[in-house]
């Protein structure tokens, strides 16, 4: 390569290297890890031990009953029922065409008279067909 081309490439590479974040910035962003994989693994194991210890100290059902935090009934009642559709009807399926038309007119009136819209944006307001 000619020397001028070499200098140009060198300048481009220097500029790119100067834009790269420093190792301190990478550490702050949690991209570069200062600890090794063995240390991370030992920290993870220690955290698992801590959580397992915390779970082992959970109170039993008897302790919760004694402290009156939890109560179970001694009697369980079961009754027979018929299977039925538990899905509710959607309210808009019950509307007549007249009701729908009234709602559209009210909505259009609100949009044209009461709703605050910038004068330059008024042309983008969508009105419902009557």
pLDDT for res 128: 85
What pLDDT, on a 0 to 100 scale, did the predictor assign at position 119? 86
Residue 49's pLDDT is: 93
CB atoms within 10 A of CB 34: 8
- Compute mean pLDDT per 10 residues along the chain, 130 residues long, and list them: 89 90 85 79 92 86 87 88 82 82 92 88 84
What pLDDT was estimated at residue 3?
A: 87
Distance, in Å, from the CA atom of 20 to the CA atom of 29, rounded to the nearest integer, reads 13
Q: Which two tokens stand for residue 98?
A: 């007249």
Paired tokens of 48: 């698992």
> Tens digits of per-residue pLDDT, 26-53?
888 888 877 777 888 898 999 999 999 8
CA distances (Å), origin 88, targets 80, 91, 93 = 22, 9, 11
Model pTM above 0.85:
no
DSSP class per residue in 95-107: --HHHHHHHHHHH
Q: Write the DSSP symbol of residue 21.
A: P
């Amino acid at each position: 390569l000619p020397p001028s081309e070499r200098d140009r490439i060198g300048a481009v590479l220097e500029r790119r290297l100067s834009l790269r974040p420093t190792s301190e910035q990478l550490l702050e962003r949690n991209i570069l890890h200062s600890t090794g994989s063995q240390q991370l693994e030992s920290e993870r194991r220690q955290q698992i031990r801590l959580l397992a210890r915390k779970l082992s100290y959970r109170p039993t059902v008897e302790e919760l009953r004694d402290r009156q935090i939890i109560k179970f009934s001694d009697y369980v009642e079961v009754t027979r029922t018929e299977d039925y559709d538990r899905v509710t009807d959607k309210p808009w399926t019950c509307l007549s065409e007249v009701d729908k038309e009234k709602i559209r007119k009210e909505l259009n009136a609100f949009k044209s008279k009461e709703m605050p819209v910038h004068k330059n944006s008024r042309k983008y307001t969508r009105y419902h067909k009557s």
